A and B are shown apart, each in its own frame.
Chain A
């Protein structure tokens, strides 16, 4: 009787544990699936928002335009049709409000009931016209030619140099400036944090007296617990003006400010992980080195660092990972200009900062919304790669030390 009760409770606990582990794994998988489903659907979209039409005169041989071409035409950088393989005419832009130049309000009608007809006539009469208007004003017997939009291409998405998702009539979705901004800021951060972190780790694990270490270690771990918005605030108030003054810049919100803030944020990760790795160096190995007449410093850089190099690397890469994914602090100090950076002293915009800043204004399910999810996918893949590298690097050590 008692044993069967015990068995049942044992089974119950087992199944509870099983369910909770399944729920967590499933949640993770579902999130990833959702992310990629939303993100990849951006490549099924055209850059012109649904419900709008771009049309040309029917004699124009042009059949399709890319989003960049559309943008350049509307920015009047392209003014002649032969630049985009069209007719010989120069381009005349026609927006819906321009209709009043051609027809009076009476001709259009009180409720715009004649508007489709009027647009059709205008497009038909001007050879070089490019008309942009809502689809609902498209006449049933339209005399012009509707332009097909190319779907957003992978290449265009990744190599496009402009990120302007709300541009009219065609959104510009080039993520290159964002990827480069992310990499610049993270790389700068690691460049600052690695030497400093490594020095602190060496000091704490090999040189500091236990008393000093017992004070320093919790302090550094405390650094990891400060909310990122506080770092951002600190950066905005202290580092940004400092950089502006120091380099005599028009604005202090630069990639460098982001790098410094992120570097400080990555320090605890780098220090704690590499310090743990160094402390794992067998005492006997250090003693053997000292017993051969090596000095303390020789022992550190010839024995301790080579022995713990995989742990140090893991710490550095995890630090980069933290820097790449960090949102709030970066958003506050980097200036968020989505242009391809040429120096660390320019404003930059990172992927996470873009998502955070724009998600609120992107209509649910729209092109912009999906593009932000695609950015999320890119970020996910980058951090996944980083974690895989860490996994590989720290796995190598256990293999070596066996």
Chain B
């Protein structure tokens, strides 16, 4: 295979990674931006999304498209409800104290992971893709579904951006992010906003997982990688910045695709980690973040 097709494949793979990564990381970034909570359990919300997608899809045997569509609605709703509840039951009671919430979300990580092991089991379970189209390029074949994942992610990201920048809910969220105390003084129910944002962040992770699960499988340990990569993306892009998250996800996804194909996956991870270190040293607020006030 020549250099050209090789590069095309690398870029395609990188785009798929970037697409789902930007959704997941956006959830993490929102939660941190608005609530100042470092949600270590974010990866587990991703995992739960995949597991629920499997459960829902299993309810529609022989009709993968229907099962997938149902999962696309049910998984984020269920995960969002769980996140909402955990915000009410745990984070709120800790007063959103940054250190305490880290410890609390670590606890949530283990509870969710072990609950998945207990009730779902240790097996990796496949979810059929809603459609199986193989696109034959002159040099190799490629999954049509993966291209769909890229497109769907772009649509979902655009929708999130619209909500944040063009709606009243988005305005309230941005106001809370800018200054929670003043927002409260102006009659914004900050605690409700927090619970809503935490749920929204988890829902984005769950959505990404539903998109990913026909490519990989639902497994109770699958939350670790998305969590690490999301942190990398959020640190590079700038906490709380939607634009930064997108740029960083593209950067990390594409470099991961290209570097790991032409060199080695380990080198790709090294480069990503190095990028985090450089950003922290030279631009601690991230590429697009605003310096702390």
Asked if A and B bind, the verdict is: no
